[in-house]
A and B are shown apart, each in its own frame.
Chain A
Amino acid sequence: MRFSTTLALIGMGIAASAAAEVPSARQDQLRDIVAQDCGSCHGMTRKGGLGSPLLPEVLAAYTAEGVTETILEGRPGTPMPPWKTMLSRDEASWIARYLMGEVK
């Protein structure tokens, strides 16, 4: 009992620290960036456009780290630009997990 409580607390601690990476006000902005700015190429519903679809089932083929890297560095040879001048690594990581359905 005591053991499982400790585990649960550790679990909560991890969840809390992940959420703490990006303040909730900034999360609102990031959701907006995903809808509006990513949406310019990938569609506001993320079904794709000039850019590829960003639906969770499509991104399931990639790791969150890989998606984060793509956001930060772009995809050379395609119109996908590097967003590192506008987003921190924590923010890009949050967006990757948001797109993959791991955070809301």
Chain B
Amino acid sequence: MSRPLAAALAVMLLAGCAAPLRGTGDLGVVVERADGRVMVVESTTSSVLASVPGLGDLSHAALVYSRDERFAFVFGRDGGLTKVDVLTGSVAARVVQSGNSIGGAMSQDGSLVAVANYTPGGIKVFDTASLSLVADIPAMGADGKPSKVIGIADLPGRKFIYTLYDAGEIWIADLADPAKPGLRKFTNIGKLPYDALITGDGRWYLAGLFGEDGIALLDLWNPDKGVRRILDHYGKGKEALPVFKMPHLRGWAAAGTEIWLPAIGHHQVLVVDKGNWTEKARVEVAGQPVFVMARPDGRQVWVNFAVPDYNLIQVIDVPTKRVVKTIEPGKAILHMEFTPKGERVWLSARDSDKVVVYDTETLEPVAELPAVKPSGIFFTARAHKTGL
């Protein structure tokens, strides 16, 4: 073999080894909860690109993305915080930062990731580049007891807002100077706030209460007005059914000027007028709703349900507020995620060991991906949304 030919071959081999350049905007992560593993998926072709093991206990796992949409920060039930590189399909860094965690948030500038913990309660804040700890903020309620933390979200500036489940308080941590975190506390917001959400504009923070009816609302443009109670009828009421799974408030859907949310202990979805916070309508559905999610254009709302109705999905037409289709994509539908512009929705069917992809116009299945006990599905477009 001539020397120039050998050199040319070597160049070709090297080029063959290098991965082709690609973006991450159509990528996502599917949690395989029982195996401590995540799949990296691509929504354009409905395909699996990689499987990343070694993430610990992923029951109820959630994640947030870096602002470049390359890294997923996965929060495990065992307190693990794992930084997954979705481009290479590998673990970039991992720390076990507490005994038990529930979720987290990414700061507006992408520099900090905060984790909400159950055991011990509080938040821990990490540098997103190195995963080194920059702040550890316990959650000691006014009652002097440590509290589980839920419903964490990012606020403008290096701030995080979160709720103390046991103490019934909302706190805002200001990490402008991570060495000296500032804390603002709102106490006596109500009993057993079990989850919270922030609207996409970052203005309204709502905490659902399990221990009483109503929702605690904080206007973040006017925080001095304090927390007020809205929707006094929202809650279990007198004739509630047992709640077999906590509704997920981050699934609350904002569609136009309406917010759609799961009733607690009732087979209903509530429609609330955003701004004056009064109930506009109730839509009867097939079971106790868990996630109530709007297609990105706000034209449809998709609903999944708690056990024993969790094999069903219902699609509601927003203008007419009617259920237009009931589908059975598989067994135990735990989560759903729309593609960035909403032409498709991915559904995780835990007990069918698959992810099913539906066309949101025809409402027909268009693809299936095998997955072991899938739960959360998270597309990278979340990276640029407040509270996700």
Contacts and interface: CB of A to CB of B under 8 A. Distances in A.
A83 B244 CA distance: 8
A16 to B, nearest CB: 31
Interface in A36-56: 36-37, 39-41, 43-45, 47-50
B77 A85 contact: no
B165 interface: yes
A86 B148 contact: no
Contact of A48 (B118, B308, B351): B118
A-side interface mostly: loop
A47 B60 CA distance: 13
A15 B102 CA distance: 40
B92 interface: no
Contacts of B246: 40-41, 50, 79
B243 A79 contact: yes
Contacts of A82: 242
B242 A85 contact: yes
Interface residues of B, number: 30
Contacts of B78: 45, 47
Contacts of A41: 246
Contacts of B373: 36
A37 B307 contact: yes
A44 B165 contact: no
Looking at B33, B59, B99, B351, the one whose CB has the most chain A CB atoms below 10 A away is B59
A37 B57 CA distance: 15
B235 to A, nearest CB: 13
Contact of B350 (A36, A43, A85): A36
A49 B192 CA distance: 14
Contact of B332 (A36, A43, A49, A79): A36
B210 A49 contact: no
A86 B100 contact: no
A45 B57 contact: yes
B34 interface: yes
Interface in B109-123: 118-119
A32 B373 CA distance: 11
Contacts of A40: 59-60, 245-246
Contacts of B165: 50
A43 B307 contact: no
B194 interface: yes
Contacts of A49: 59-60, 77, 100, 102, 118
Interface string B122-163: 000000000000000000000000001010000000000000
Interface in B216-271: 242-246
Interface in B153-187: 165
Contact of A44 (B57, B99, B245): B57
A85 B118 CA distance: 30
A61 B307 CA distance: 29
A41 to B, nearest CB: 7
Nearest to A32: B351
A37 B244 CA distance: 8
A59 interface: no
Contacts of B192: 78-79
Nearest to A74: B242
Contacts of A32: 351
Contact of B59 (A43, A78, A83): A43
Contact of B57 (A43, A74, A77, A79): A43
Interface in B57-79: 57, 59-60, 77-78
Nearest to A73: B242
A34 to B, nearest CB: 12
B200 interface: no
Interface string A65-104: 0000000001001110111011000000000000000000
29 contacts: A36-B350, A37-B307, A39-B59, A40-B246, A43-B60, A43-B77, A44-B59, A47-B57, A47-B100, A48-B118, A49-B59, A49-B77, A49-B100, A49-B102, A49-B118, A50-B150, A50-B165, A50-B194, A50-B246, A77-B211, A79-B210, A79-B243, A79-B246, A81-B243, A81-B244, A83-B242, A83-B244, A85-B242, A86-B244
Given A44-B57, A48-B100, A50-B148, 14 more contacts: A36-B373, A37-B244, A43-B57, A47-B57, A47-B77, A47-B78, A49-B60, A49-B118, A74-B242, A79-B210, A79-B243, A83-B242, A83-B244, A86-B307
Closest 3 CB pairs of A and B: A81-B242, A44-B59, A39-B59
Interface of A: 32, 35-37, 39-41, 43-45, 47-50, 74, 77-79, 81-83, 85-86
